[in-house]
Amino acid sequence: MTIKANYDSAKQEYEKWGIDVEAVFRQLQQVPISIHCWQGDDIEGFEVNKGELSGGIDVTGNYPGKAQTPEELRKDLEKALSLIPGKHRVNLHAIYAETNGEVVERDQLKPHHFENWVKWAKGLGIGLDFNPTLFSHEKADDGLTLAHPDPSIREFWIHHCIACRRIGAYFGKELGTPCLTNIWIPDGYKDIPSDRLTPRKRLKESLDRIFREEISEDYNVDSVESKLFGLGSESYVVGSHEFYLAYALTNHKLCLLDTGHFHPTETVSNKISAMLLYTDKLALHVSRPVRWDSDHVVMLDDELREIALEIVRNQALEKVAIGLDFFDASINRVAAWTIGTRNMMKALMYALLLPNDHLKQLQDEGRFTERLALMEEFKTYPFGAIWDYYCEQMGVPVKEAWLDDIKEYEQNVLFKRQASSPDFFRLDQQGTQYPSVFLLPP
Ligand code: RNT
Ligand code: ZN
């Protein structure tokens, strides 16, 4: 059967439940996912004097072909974007500035350091989001930034964040879509603190300073991202969930929930409805924590579907800014983006294809047997046939066909890049270099 024939018969099954599949397609096209650029280069960035990745986050793996220049990173992003249905956004970090070989301190960053990114985004007709980078820097070496006891270090980071909000506003103005500028800091302590309050007071004061400058929300919107623990901040994190939830609500900021930043059995899906009663908007970093905040590539798992369902059921597609945050260097990085983003889209489509009103009614009427039965039966409805047709309609590869594109790109582009470690390559009998890790044998 062809994709269309499969689709037609699947569509009928959903229509029996009053689900308008074409309307679902239209809705889905309106949902941008903010794709994090840092999956493409293991969060290295392009600073002239770049140091080691720090801040209690880590990337493992040494798959060959990572982007080492802004051009390479943009090219890789374009490849991934071409394999994902819909129009999305790209999320940058301050360390992705282009300074022409000049050392520019982070508190001195200016919009023009990002003009290549803006030009590129304009060409693609996509929006950009942004993040100040408060890690991988000598002034963050002891794991403290905006909450640092030394006022001069706090000052440096405050000015970095102020500079970043202005860069965010520049993105928003140039691209005609507000930039979400998200602040995440690593601040915390490895061991039990003797004072939990003072660092939090300092963080609050720093944030107040950062946000003092009024910037139109037509250009820049701010969010703050909490965390439970990090490597080196196992006992205490200054910017905890309660801290930022309260800060966001009282200061009209978006609270950003990273799915890896909570206790292992605590779910972000269960927080969305509670928060939306008190705030118009919130933001997500969708990630996959495997036993800890490991930032694995997002899978189409139960929690991803539940998050999508919460967004869809509560008519919150425009209220929840969906961003991704994972980094895996053990697999093809362009494939990682493609897999994770397609999964996010699949989860949203799955949620849109449920008889949500009916299911709500069953709950209100106490018909829990039917509620459970239907929710389970819908798991094996022909969702895949609808997804495939949607991909085809959107001009992107259907099913796993995108893997062929990636393999070709890997051979022609990624593996031709200079290796950053000699172990990446082996010599064949003719003496030509080839990467020692392949997606599939060539
Ligand atoms: C770290 C946070 C943060 C970073 C990115 C690179 O735990 O999740 O969002 O992953 O800013
Ligand atoms: Zn995050």
Any residues with CB less than 8 A from the CB of 220 and at least 6 apart, and which? 165, 168, 169, 171, 172, 178, 179, 181
Helix spans in 279-367 (H): 302-313, 333-352, 356-364
Q: List, for residues 186-218, the tens digit of each pLDDT value.
A: 999 999 999 999 999 999 999 999 999 999 999
Asked whether the predicted pLDDT for residue 134 surpasses 50, the reply is yes
What's the whole-number mean pLDDT along residues 259-271? Answer: 97
Which residue from 8, 11, 79, 74 is spatially nearest to 41, judged by alpha carbons? 74
Indicate the number of domains in the chain.
Answer: 1
Q: Which atom of ligand 1 is nearest to the CA of 38?
A: 6
Q: Which ligand is nearest to the CA of 294?
A: 1
Which residue type does 244 have?
Y
Q: Kindly give the distance from the C-alpha atom of residue 27 to the centroid of ligand 2, in angstroms, as a whole number.
A: 26
Per the annotation, the verdict on 148 as an active-site residue is no
Count CB-CB contacts under 10 A for residue 314.
15
CA distances from residue 417 to 97, 259, 403, 409 in whole angstroms, order as listed: 21, 33, 20, 12
Q: List, for residues 18-31, the tens digit of each pLDDT value.
A: 999 999 999 999 99
Asked whether the predicted pLDDT for residue 34 surpasses 50, the reply is yes
**Model confidence band, residue 428 (pLDDT cutoffs 50, 70, 90):** low
User: Of the listed 174, 222, 325, 328, which one is catalytic?
Assistant: 325
Which residue type does 207 have?
L
* Residue 168 maps to a domain: yes
* Residue 430 maps to a domain: no
Name all residues whose Cβ lies below 6 A of ligand 1.
Answer: 38, 43, 57, 131, 184, 225, 227, 258, 285, 293, 325
* Residue 420 maps to a domain: no
Nearest CA owner, ligand 1 atom 5: 325
User: Of the listed 148, 253, 261, 281, which one is catalytic?
Assistant: 261
User: Of the listed 41, 42, 222, 225, which one is catalytic?
Assistant: 225
Q: Across the beta sheet with 89-91, what order do the strands follow?
A: 127-129, 89-91, 34-36, 320-324, 282-286, 254-258, 220-225, 179-183
Identify the H or E element spanning 117.
helix 115-124
Q: What is the pTM of this model?
A: 0.95
Which residue type does 332 have?
N
The domain that holds 337 is classified in CATH as: 3.20.20.150
Q: List, for residues 153-174, the tens digit of each pLDDT value.
A: 999 999 999 999 999 999 999 9
Nearest CA owner, ligand 1 atom 2: 184
* Residue 333 maps to a domain: yes
| Pocket residue to mutate for ligand 1, from 35, 184, 187, 255, most atoms within 8 A of Cβ | 184
Which residue type does 268 have?
V
Q: Kindly give the distance from the C-alpha atom of residue 79 to the centroid of ligand 1, in angstroms, as a whole number.
A: 23
Rounded Cα distance, 108 and 404, in Å: 43
Q: List, for residues 39-71, the tens digit of each pLDDT value.
A: 999 999 999 999 899 999 999 999 999 999 999
Residue 86 domain boundaries: 31-352
* Residue 15 maps to a domain: no
Per the annotation, the verdict on 159 as an active-site residue is no
User: Of the listed 295, 328, 405, 410, which one is catalytic?
Assistant: 295
* Residue 290 maps to a domain: yes
Rounded Cα distance, 254 and 280, in Å: 9
What's the whole-number mean pLDDT along residues 402-429? Answer: 80
Residue 304's SS3 state is helix
Which residue type does 359 have?
L
Rounded Cα distance, 95 and 73, in Å: 13
Per the annotation, the verdict on 261 as an active-site residue is yes
* Residue 434 maps to a domain: no
**Model confidence band, residue 442 (pLDDT cutoffs 50, 70, 90):** very low
Q: Kindly give the distance from the C-alpha atom of residue 325 to the centroid of ligand 1, in angstroms, as a whole number.
A: 7
Rounded Cα distance, 357 and 339, in Å: 30
Q: At what angle do helices 70-81 and 402-412 cross, to 10 degrees?
A: 160
What are the tokens at 89? 């956004």
What's the whole-number mean pLDDT along residues 265-285? Answer: 98
Under a CB-based contact definition with an 8 Å cutoff, are residues 307 and 272 in contact?
Answer: yes
Q: Kindly give the distance from the C-alpha atom of residue 184 to the centroid of ligand 1, in angstroms, as a whole number.
A: 7
Per the annotation, the verdict on 325 as an active-site residue is yes
Rounded Cα distance, 302 and 110, in Å: 42
Q: Which ligand is nearest to the CA of 131?
A: 1
* Residue 310 maps to a domain: yes
